[in-house]
């Protein structure tokens, strides 16, 4: 089923995010899960896992995984991305964010931020993040939360969340909304 590009574009420009539907087929999901398991125990050069962290970051995976590179450069999401930001697309960053279960949400916290707070990309309106859940996610297991419309204020000033982390954060108003995905 083709995504409704008009509705997606409207949501993206109004809210700062949009749901584009399932972009991985069951075989690709299985392959991505296998790749996540392969990369989980071995931090990459750019990874910054804190000791005891329950959230792991594995970065720039296209350089190490033909499976990820194939989807990132030829996946079903690219038509929608092109419709949102134009045809000149450059893949900048790939990453697995793995939230390990243990019930201690503080150890798996990823503070409020804007993705571009971590690295400057110009022009800002031409950068887009495609987030894919490999498991069902909701409030009980670490889904992403968003602040609809927060992009209208531009890139906010980010500060280090606290002294013993590399995480950045921004002040937010309200609770945001959870991004529940299957």
Mean per-residue pLDDT pooled into runs of 10, the chain (182 residues):
83 92 94 94 66 77 94 94 90 86 61 82 76 90 88 87 82 89 88
pLDDT for position 66: 97
Work out the burial of residue 44: count CB atoms within 10 Å of its CB; fewer than 13 is exposed, 13-18 middle, 19 or more buried.
middle
Query: Distance of CA 172 to CAs 20, 28, 109, 113, Å?
Result: 25, 35, 16, 9
pLDDT for position 140: 84
Would you say the C-alpha torsion 115, 39, 136, 142 has a positive or negative sign?
A: negative
Read off the tokens for 163. 């002294």
Residue with the two structure tokens 């243990």: 102
pLDDT for position 59: 87
CA distance 1 to 6: 15
pLDDT for position 65: 96
Instruction: Decide: helix, strand or coil at residue 97.
Output: strand
pLDDT for position 62: 93
CA distance 67 to 31: 7
Q: Helices 66-74 and 26-39, interaxial angle, to 10°? A: 130
Read off the tokens for 176. 């945001």
């Amino acid at each position: 089923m083709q995504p409704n590009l008009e509705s997606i574009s409207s949501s993206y420009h109004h809210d700062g995010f949009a749901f584009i539907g399932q972009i991985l087929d069951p075989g690709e999901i299985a392959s991505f899960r296998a790749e996540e398991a392969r990369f989980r125990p071995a931090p990459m050069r750019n990874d910054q896992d804190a000791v005891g962290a329950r959230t792991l970051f594995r970065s720039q995976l296209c350089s190490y995984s033909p499976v990820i590179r194939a989807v990132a450069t030829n996946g079903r999401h690219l038509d929608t991305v092109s419709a949102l930001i134009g045809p000149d697309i450059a893949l900048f960053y790939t990453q697995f964010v793995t939230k390990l279960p243990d019930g201690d949400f503080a150890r798996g916290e990823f503070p409020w931020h804007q993705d571009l707070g971590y690295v400057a990309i110009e022009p800002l309106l031409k950068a887009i993040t495609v987030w894919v859940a490999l498991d069902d996610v909701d409030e009980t297991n670490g889904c992403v939360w968003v602040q609809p419309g927060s992009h209208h204020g531009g890139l906010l000033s980010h500060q280090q969340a606290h002294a013993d982390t590399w995480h950045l954060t921004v002040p937010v108003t309200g609770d945001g909304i959870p991004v529940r995905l299957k």
